Amino acid sequence: MYETIFFAISSAIYHLYMVAVVGFVALQFGWIGKPNEKKDDSQKESSQKEKPQAGDLLNNLMGGLMKQMGPILEQSMARAENPAAAIEEAATSKPAVNFD
């Protein structure tokens, strides 16, 4: 069971990473996003300073994902290392969802 949970989590991370890579490539080649409009020099300088780079967006996405998934993965790994303690914890703890 723990292998299935770990596989599902790792598969989700892999697929999100691949979506981010494809999005990054699409941004770089200009397949997605607004087409560039002609602007004078003063507007070009101000828009370039405000515009985030595609690499920054990718780093922010992956960093946020790992912040969310980190504790879940640590807990899953701890349960996988000591299944007897995980079974004992599950038997003595209250369920997270009340089905009444």
Write the DSSP symbol of residue 30. T
User: How confident is the model over 90-97, as a mean pLDDT?
Assistant: 75
Output the CA–CA distances (angstroms, integers) from residue 65 to 14, 22, 38, 54, 78, in the order listed: 11, 17, 36, 17, 20
Write the DSSP symbol of residue 96. S
Mean pLDDT of the chain: 77
The answer to the question of residue 38 being in a domain is: no
Instruction: Residue 78: give the domain boundaries.
Output: 1-28+56-86
The answer to the question of residue 64 being in a domain is: yes
Helix axes 54-81, 2-29, angle to 10 degrees: 170
User: How confident is the model over 57-86, as a mean pLDDT?
Assistant: 79
The answer to the question of residue 37 being in a domain is: no
Residue 17: what pLDDT?
Answer: 94
Residue 19: what pLDDT?
Answer: 92
The answer to the question of residue 43 being in a domain is: no
The answer to the question of residue 20 being in a domain is: yes
This prediction has a pTM of 0.33
The answer to the question of residue 48 being in a domain is: no
Q: Total domain count for the chain?
A: 1
The answer to the question of residue 76 being in a domain is: yes
Provide the pLDDT confidence category of residue 18 given band limits of 50, 70 and 90: very high
Residue 13 has pLDDT above 90, yes or no: yes
Burial class of residue 8 in the structure, from the number of CB atoms within 10 Å of its CB (0-12 exposed, 13-18 middle, 19+ buried): exposed
The answer to the question of residue 19 being in a domain is: yes
Residues 33-50 pLDDT 10s = 766 556 555 655 555 566
